[in-house]
Structures are given as structure tokens and as C-alpha cells.
Structure 1
Amino acid sequence: MTTVHVDDITLGIESFGDDDAPLVLLAGGTTMLSWPDALCARLAAGGRRVVRYDLRDSGRSTTRDPEAPAYTLRDLAADAAALADALGAGPAHLAGIGVGGMVAQVAVLDHPGAFSALTLVGTRAVAPGPPDDDLPDHDQATTSRLFARPLPDWADREAVAAFAAAGAEILGDDPAAARTVAARIWDRTPSTAPPVQMANQMGMVFSRLDCTPRWRERLAEIEVPTLVVHGRRDAFFPVGNGEAIAQEIPGARLLILDEAASAIPDAAVGEVAEAMLALG
């Protein structure tokens, strides 16, 4: 793991594979660890240079004030394009997961020359908040359970890991995997201050981020090969969101993971990697 300076910020990155291979850039959702190690390794074994990175206010990237971010979704999209340019590999295959998928959609729309392909995992085509009437919202019973829990002591690594494991169980993800990832995220978080931990562990900075203007109406402008991956059991961004994206991006392929929820499970890594490599 290292950092790259782009414009006036620092982005934390981790690289896999040959530096001269075609670049696959993985936008975190919000940290790079949203992308499984095994998937990064499979993509690298398929002849790709894989770089996963932390969004601002997470991991090793610039962290200032997650409660009052002085940047917008458009700035995060520009970060992706600037990072692809800084890595010097020509147009990159950009992938985003969760809120990172929102970043990736806007990045390809606003900076089309920077990217050669697009993968979107477990995301939707509208900003955080109420969705469009034709899109399914978060499952209310699930989110009520998820957000009714008392927050952990953010200075207690084990308490944070246990909190993440319990949340994964509610969402239908693997609690053991979530516990391990949360502990790794805690180790990389620059502060135990609650706003910083919540930005890293829960992505709460996105609830305060300026995500205007809308971009859903522009999805038909995307011309690069696109893969949309969605878990059929995803209660946070239900599968109808992925189906809508795939319908609105010309030629997009939809890959539904029947046994997955919001995270990419180990059992699906090979299938997802194969589909991503097929984009070029």
C-alpha cells in the first residue's frame, strides 16, 4: 500500500499485478477494502494491473472533516480520472462498489476519455436519499434493524469489528468476513474520532455530500463496455437498482449473484473476475 498525490489531495492505493498490464481501477465504497483481496488477485492473475483506492475521508486518503466535506461527488469523480492519469497506463477499466459505484458512473460520464470499461457493483443511479419512484428503496425492516443498534466505542477495535459483523448478519453478508475487514479498516483509519470512524466503517460522509446534479438521465451517454453486478439478496440497494442501470446503459451486461447480498462473497469471486476480464 502507498499513496499518490493528485491535484491537492492524497489518495491511498494498493496495487496488484504487473505495472505494465492494462489498468483496472477499483473505487472504494468508501475504503479500498470493499474490494475483496481474492478478487484483486484473480484480476491480476488474468493479466491486469489492479489498483484499489480509498475515497477521500477514508483509509490513507486525505481526511479533513467528514461531517462537513468541502468536496462534491463530482470532485470524487475527478479524483478517479486524475488517478488513472497519474498511474500512466492509458484509459482504465473503472469499477465502483456501493457508493463507489455512484462515483464511477459520474466519472465515466464526466471524463469519458479516461476510461475504457466500467463495472458497477451493488449500487444505484441516484444519490443517497429517497430514490426515484420506479426504483426500490432500502428494505425498511432491514434498515430499521441496522440503524437502531447503539454505536460502538470507536476507540475499541474489537467492539467496532463486532458491530460490523452484526450489521453484516442483518444485511445477509458473511459476518466473519465483515469482522475481519472492519478490523483491517480500523487499523488503517487515521483517528478514532466517531466522524472519522463512521466515514470509514459506514460511509456516512455520503449523507452529507453534495451529489447534484442528477446523472441518471445521462446513463445512455455511456459508450464503454459496462458490467453491472448485483446481489439478488441485497436489502440495502435492492436488485431492481442494478437492473435499472443495466437497462439504461447501452449494451450493458447484467450479472445477478443469486446467493449474494451487498458484499461480493468468496464463492462469487471467480464469476465476477471472469466477467470483468471479459470487458477487456
Structure 2
Amino acid sequence: MVTETMMPVNGIQVCLETFGEPTDAPLLLLAGDASPMDWWDDEFCRRLAAGGRFVIRYDHRDTGRSTSYPAGATAYSGADLLDDAVGVLDALRVPAAHLVGFSLGGALAQRIAVHHPERVLSLTLMATSAGGAGSETAPVTVGGPVTVVAGTVTAGIRTVEAAPITDETDWSNRKAAVARMIAEVRDHGGPFTPDEPQLRRLAERIFDRSADLAATRLNHRLAGYGPPVRDLLGAIETRTVVLHGTLDRFFPAEHPEELARCIPNARLVWLDGVGHEFPPRAVWDQVLHEILH
């Protein structure tokens, strides 16, 4: 049974959960774009805790049970998502933590390491890119039409414009939303992606914990990812490992290779047969080893 705690962070309510002993070294899990903490598998978290870590996972704002906003009415930016991660550590009175980030979470982890280096014990960057997550033009799925967000960067700030095109997914309908989440995971994954029954249980849990999935998916993309930090990655001194699936089509091989070059002494470790997905069970031993050692 998942035990959740609501805590005030930066003027909002953030839903979080911890595993393990508070006296162990803290480890903060940062989920991907529009992804609640559920994507970090419960057993994966327990195994991290068994490895001597005090594991913290949380719902980004606008995901899960954290504070949500109406679709298109984002009252926050990518910089706020970064501040929320640091705020979670503050709320738990954690001075510094090992950071493990997937996709957008990896982008946030990079920014924390650049702007708050004293809060970072180590970096594990999964399925992400140097200084950011997502391309200049990325599809955003909402309840009803898809919105394509065209991004531009001016003075380090990402601005967006939205233009609707047709999509029939109704994110307020549990059956339709669950089916779409399952299809997306399988499309982005590989031979080790969980089977349909397991994905269905997870997608149903995510739907039931979410206030408004359509708003979640649109608002995170509208928020952007904050000012670019690619040129600042060379200042990172903490131990860094870059984990990347060999079948990741969202961020092809040049992305992790560049990321590993930008961060001094970073190690690039390939996950064979893995797509753009949270680590599937087949590679847990490899991933856990890289995180814990």
C-alpha cells in the first residue's frame, strides 16, 4: 500500500513518499514530463532503500495529488519545477541528496547541480539531453485536440505558441486515458517494457490519483524547462553517470554522448534493449548498481 504525505512547498501542496531510514543517505527521484511519482516502481524504490538510501519520490505540481491548475492556465514555469525539487528537500530538512532524474527529471537534476551544487551528492541522468528535455517543437496531448507547442528561446527564456490539431483521446475518460497511456509506453519502449496487465494497473492508478490528465500534459509543456544550462554543465563537479537506452528514439545516441562530454568525468552507460522509458525490471540490477556505487 502506498503511503503518501502532503507537504507545503513553495506556496503549493506537494504529495511525496519516502522509503527507508531517514538516517541513510538521501536520494531524490525526479520523474519525467507530466509524470507523477507512480512511474518510479514501488519495488524499485524499496530496492534502492535496501541499498542504504533514504528514497524520496514526489508528484510534480500538476501531476498526481500535488497542486493542479486548469488546462492552459499555468501559473508556473520550468524554473518553478526546479524550485519544487529543492523545496521537497527543504521540507524534509535534507541538506543534500543523490539525484536520480528521468527525461525532464534529468533536466531538472542538471539545473540543480548547476545552480545549487551544495544540494547534490551525485547525479544519475536517465534518458535525457544536455541542458534540457524535449525538442524545439514537441507534441502535447490534451483532452480533445492535440496541441503542438512551438518553442523559441529569447534571452534564455523559452516561449511557446499553441496550435490545435485533431486527436480523439478523451483524457477525462478512464478507459480511453488508460489505453492511451499503455499505448504510449509500449510505443516508446522495447522488448523489456512491462506487459499490458502490469501497465494497465499502473495507468489506472495514475488516472485515479490525477486531478486532470489533460491539464497535466498541456501545462507541463507550456511551462517549458527553464533557461538553458548547456554551457554551464562544465562546472559540475559531482560524480555523474548517464544512463541511456540503446532503443531510445526520443533522444538518439548523440544526446547522451554530448551530455557525457559536457559534464567533467561523467560516465555514459548504455542500457541494451531499453527505449525511452523508466527502467524496466530486466535492467534493474544494472541500474541499481550504477546508482548505488
Give the TM-score band, short-chain normalised: 0.7 to 0.9
More helix by share: 1
Size of the alignment, in residue pairs? 258
Offset of residue 34 of structure 1: 2.4
Equivalent residue, structure 1, for 2:180: 163
Equivalent residue, structure 2, for 1:237: 251
Q: Percent identical across equivalent pairs? A: 37
Q: 2:227 aligns with which of 207, 213, 216?
A: 213
Query: SS at the partner of 1:224?
Result: coil
Offset of residue 207 of structure 1: 2.3
* Aligned counterparts, 1:238-253, within 5 A: 238-253=252-267
Offset of residue 66 of structure 1: 4.4
C-alpha contact 2:102 2:125 (8 A) present in aligned 1:
yes
- What is the RMSD of the two structures over their aligned residues, measured on CA atoms? 2.3
Query: SS at the partner of 2:200?
Result: helix
Equivalent residue, structure 2, for 1:195: 214
C-alpha contact 1:66 1:195 (8 A) present in aligned 2:
yes
Q: Does the alignment pair 1:11 with 2:17?
A: no
Offset of residue 40 of structure 1: 0.8
Q: Does the alignment pair 1:183 with 2:204?
A: yes
C-alpha contact 2:103 2:133 (8 A) present in aligned 1:
no
TM-score (norm 1): 0.84
Offset of residue 233 of structure 1: 0.2
Q: 2:60 aligns with which of 26, 31, 55?
A: 55
Equivalent residue, structure 2, for 1:265: 280
Offset of residue 164 of structure 1: 1.6
Bigger Cα displacement from structure 2, 98-107 vs 121-130: 121-130
TM-score (norm 2): 0.81
Q: Give me the whole-angstrom Cα distance separating, in 1, the residues matched to 2:225 and 2:211.
A: 25
Q: Give me the whole-angstrom Cα distance separating, in 2, the residues matched to 1:266 and 1:149.
A: 35
More strand by share: 2
Q: Give me the whole-angstrom Cα distance separating, in 2, the residues matched to 1:178 and 1:16.
A: 22
Bigger Cα displacement from structure 2, 17-26 vs 233-242: 233-242
Q: Give me the whole-angstrom Cα distance separating, in 2, the residues matched to 1:241 and 1:92.
A: 25
Unaligned runs of 5+ in 2: 140-147, 149-164
Q: 1:172 to 1:210 in 2, by over 3 A?
A: closer
Equivalent residue, structure 2, for 1:144: none
Equivalent residue, structure 2, for 1:129: 135
Unaligned runs of 5+ in 1: 132-136, 139-146
